[in-house]
A and B are shown apart, each in its own frame.
Chain A
Amino acid sequence: MSIPNDLRYTKSHEWVKLGNDGIATVGITQHAQELLGDMVFVETPVVGCKLKQGEECAVVESVKAAADVYSPISGEVTAANPELEVAPEKINQDAYAAWLFKLKPVNAADVNLLMDAAGYQKMLESEEH
């Protein structure tokens, strides 16, 4: 399983990409989607809502279970992916393309404090044991 090098990761299996425009894009990882299985419902945060790091802000539900999504950093929601409302399976098809929401970070540097690909890989390996 490849873990993209240009993203940052959380312990709760979200990925974050900081764009050149300073906006952070958030999704769930390939590992998370594999654990959950076929997605059937996604609830994204409301645009304009201010999130704190670690705050529950979205829900992804598969045929198997519901899982909370936590905001990887603090910031204000600027967009939610409208595609997922009608096609939640896009997360299964490509977890790193099917973003959930975008944030304007309170402090963009917070993104770089999250795990990089190597760190996330290491965490997954340790979880398997």
Chain B
Amino acid sequence: MKTTSLNQTHRDMNAKMVDFGGWDMPLHYGSQLDEHHKVRRDAGMFDVSHMLAVDIKGEGARDFLRRLVANNVDKLVQPGKALYTCMLNPHGGVIDDLIIYYLSESHFRMVVNAGTADKDLAWMQAQRDERAPQLEIIPRRDLAMIAVQGPNARARVWEVIAGSQAATEGLKLFQAVFFDQYFIARTGYTGEDGFEIMLPANEAAEFWNALAAAGVAPAGLGARDTLRLEAGMNLYGQDMDETASPLESGLGWTVDLKTDREFIGKEALLAAPAKQQLIGLVLLDRGVLRSHQKVSTANGASEGEITSGGFSPTLNQSIALARVPLTVAAGDEVQVIVRDKALRAKAVKYPFVRNGKILV
């Protein structure tokens, strides 16, 4: 199994390790619920080194990305600015969702999912070979990534990295900056404030332990999933994949169809307007919503399916994202089939939780 540079550190902290798409990763360090609350109320940290940073270097990098991804990289004007986007196949299906950082006209950095990294690289290299052979596509497995998240996350990082406060306290959301050997971005996957920090892999353990000493709680993939679900953030492979349109996956806001820019998948999206949508569900009966459970509307006529479901520690009830027909509106009551029983759920606009506050 593949391991990150923090593998032994996790074991030393009594992590329960699991196979996550071929990576040996921490699920939790004792209690997933405690870790979740720590992130919402204070500060927690996640090893996300299994995700892959990819540098795109060379002349014409921006042009290459204009065509490669569905969001418009021309929104990236200030160096350090980040953009969330999907990379689509010609049929409009989602190859991956990723973040692109603009560093200079000849240097962009992408962060892609772990499970799709090999496929993404192959796809990008093929596109590069065809359109922009001068570009270098450089996977950065030499970097570790640690997400420090929570209302006190930035302050803890400033305690640990001397001098970093002045360099990073002016960062707005989705902005990043290099500081010493660190690449510090004000991004995350929890709905809380914080940083995602890249650094040389061989320095990750020391940095992780310093954060722990400063009071940042280690948190595993379990808490990462419940936090991102509450924050209404999509998970690749569950809420969208190559068979799903971003327009039916709650990602329409990331697809730029307004400009005349040509990008891979655009034609297919224009030819197939959305028939379904992603909505939030809050379970009204007792139980737990899980992915693939069937959703039906009150009259039972239209059908949908939960893409991500689980228990929300912040709401203390079960929530889900579900793909349902466009006719379902926020406030509607729907039924979810859980073990042959129809449970009542309310359709809501998500996110469910942001910055520690319940929004539904």
User: Which residues does A use to contact B, with CB under 8 Å?
Assistant: 37-38, 40-41, 43, 59, 61, 63-64, 66, 85, 89, 92
On whether the beta carbons of A63 and B32 are closer than 8 Å, the reply is yes
Find A41's partner among B32, B226, B311, B313 (CB 8 Å cutoff). Answer: B311
**Whole-angstrom distance from the CB of B226 to the nearest CB of chain A?**
6
Q: Which of A37, A41, A61, A89 contacts B28 (CB 8 A)?
A: A37
Chain B residues with CB under 8 Å of A66's CB are 288, 290, 339
- Decide yes or no whether B258 CB sits under 8 A from chain A: no
Q: Give B350 Cβ to nearest chain A Cβ, in Å.
A: 19
List 14 A-B residue pairs with CB atoms under 8 Å apart, sorted by A's residue number. Answer: A37-B32, A41-B286, A41-B311, A41-B318, A43-B286, A43-B287, A61-B288, A61-B311, A63-B33, A63-B311, A64-B27, A66-B288, A85-B286, A89-B33
With both beta carbons as reference points, the residue of chain B lying nearest to A63 in the complex is identified as B32
Q: Is the CB of B226 within 8 A of A63?
A: yes
- Size category of the B interface is 10 to 19
State the CA gap A63–B222 with chains docked (Å): 8
Assembly CA distance A63 to B339 (angstroms): 17
Given contacts A59-B339, A63-B310, A41 and B222 within 8 Å (CB-CB): no
Q: Distance in Å from the Cβ of A84 to the closest Cβ of chain B?
A: 11
In the complex, which residues of chain B have a beta carbon less than 8 angstroms from the beta carbon of A61?
A: 287-288, 311
Q: Tell me which residues across on chain A come within 8 A of B16, comparing CB atoms.
A: 37
Nearest B residue to A59 via CB reads B339
CB distance from A116 to the nearest CB of B (A): 28
Give the contacts of B217-250 with A (CB-CB under 8 A): 222, 226
Q: Does B31 lie at the interface of the complex (its beta carbon under 8 Å from any beta carbon of A)?
A: yes
User: Which residue of chain B lies nearest to A34 when distances are taken between CB atoms in the complex?
Assistant: B16
The complex places the Cα of A41 from the Cα of B313 at a distance, in Å, of 12
Scoring B residues 325 to 360 as 1 if CB is less than 8 Å from chain A, else 0, what string do you get?
A: 000000000000001000000000000000000000
Q: Roughly how many angstroms separate A43 CA and B318 CA in the complex, as a whole number?
A: 15
- Hey, which chain A residues are within 8 Å of B28, CB to CB? 37
Partner of B288, one of A41, A85, A89: A41
In the assembled complex, which residues on chain B have CB atoms less than 8 Å from the CB atom of A40? 288, 311, 318
Find out whether the CB atom of B288 lies under 8 angstroms from the CB atom of A38. Answer: no
A38 touches B286 (CB 8 A): no
Within the assembled complex, what's the spacing in Å between the Cα atoms of A18 and B44? 45
A43 to B76 CA separation, bound complex (whole angstroms): 51
- Docked pose: A119 CA to B119 CA in angstroms: 47
Q: Are A64 and B288 in contact (CB under 8 A)?
A: no
Option from A38, A41, A59, A85 in Cβ contact (under 8 Å) with B31 = A38
Known: A43-B287, A63-B310, A63-B311. 16 other contacts (CB 8 A): A37-B28, A38-B31, A38-B32, A40-B311, A41-B287, A41-B318, A43-B286, A61-B288, A63-B32, A63-B33, A63-B222, A64-B27, A64-B222, A66-B288, A85-B286, A89-B33
Q: Shortest beta-carbon distance, A90 to chain B, in Å? A: 14
Query: CA–CA, A59 to B340, complex, Å?
Result: 13
Q: Chain B residue with minimal CB distance to A89?
A: B33
Chain B residues lying within 8 Å of A59, measured Cβ to Cβ, are: 339
Separation in Å of the B152 CB from the closest CB of chain A?
23
Q: Inside 8 A of B226's CB, which chain A residues have their CB?
A: 63
Q: Is the CB of B287 within 8 A of A38?
A: no
C-alpha gap A85/B285 in the complex (Å): 12
